[in-house]
Structure 1
């Protein structure tokens, strides 16, 4: 009598022939949808903002020293990379103008930092820096220049 057990192939070995082409198709379909809907541009803008630390860091420094912002939000935590990815970024004028929104969190509350800037050489000149407070629906103007 033979008592050997029959070994079954692993799930991966049995299904790789259809799984890999399906995953590839889904990836290509996703890229196509992003291109058609214009979300590919948004991803490019987010990537560019993510890599340009000086753009949001300088605006953040100005906002976190504003007395009204400190009074409402308290001590503001540094902006993390995830906050940039969660925010909205729109470049225009051959990537020389940008409007972005990023969340900020203080020990007393939350808000959004809105920035509008124009590139001048290697530096950014800020046209507008606002902080919108979530709880009170208040907008604090940190910087606003005439265009």
Structure 2
């Protein structure tokens, strides 16, 4: 006759270290999910902002920049700088990395907002390969309604 001795389960044998490690891993995963959500939310707010949209519209309509970078021109990373809103006023001083099939560049925008109208002091592209600076405003109108870039 053989007696079978009931052996404890894995959890019963290892609960002393499994519970703290499992709890810590859960907190770490939740932290990274929260951090990712925060970064995604802020990124979404920035990419939907008027200065960001106006600058991308302007760079895509500039034939000289399109000839250098190729089509389509799209963003190439995370925007840097400051973008602030308070009531009907705001300011922007941002740098947007852009790229096309032929090369990469940085798009710079400096402007202010008053009464739902953005006025841009500077909007230019610096081509990475040659350091050439291309002014996107020129002598054209540099004010935009939020609804019509």
TM-score range, shorter chain: 0.5 to 0.7
Does the 8 A contact of 1:91 with 1:97 survive in 2? yes
Map of 2:103 onto structure 1: 109
Query: Are 1:65 and 2:61 counterparts?
Result: yes
CA separation of 1:47 and 1:67: change in aligned 2, threshold 3 A:
closer
Q: Work out whether 1:87 is the aligned partner of 2:82.
A: no
Return the index of the structure with the highest Cα Rg.
2
Q: Name the CA distance, whole Å, in 2 between partners of 1:51 and 1:87.
A: 9
Shift of 1:54: 2.1
Where structure 2 has 5 or more consecutive residues not aligned to the other structure, the ranges are 32-38, 140-149
Give the direction of change, closer, same or farther, for the CA distance of 1:115–1:144 in structure 2 (3 Å limit): farther
Q: Which runs of 5+ in 1 are unaligned?
A: 28-42
SS in 2 for 1:143: coil
In proportion to residue count, which structure has more strand? 2
Contact 2:74 2:100 in 1 (8 A): no
Say if 1:127 and 1:15 are closer, same or farther in 2 by CA, change over 3 A: same
User: Retained in 2: the 8 A contact 1:63–1:129?
Assistant: no
Structure 1 residue 2 corresponds to structure 2 residue 4? yes
Matched residue SS, 2:136: strand
TM-score of the aligned structures, taking structure 1 as reference length:
0.64
Query: Which of 100, 103, 117 is matched with 1:123 structurally?
Result: 117
- Return the structure number with greater helix share: 1
Distance in 2, Cα, partners of 1:52 & 1:78 = 14
Structure 1 runs of 4+ with >3 Å offset? 10-13, 46-49, 76-80, 91-95
| Count of residue pairs brought into register by the alignment | 123
What is the distance in 1 between the residues matched to 2:70 and 2:125?
A: 13
Measured after TM superposition, the shift of residue 68 of structure 1 is 1.7
Give the CA deviation at 1:50: 1.5
**Match of 1:50, SS?**
helix
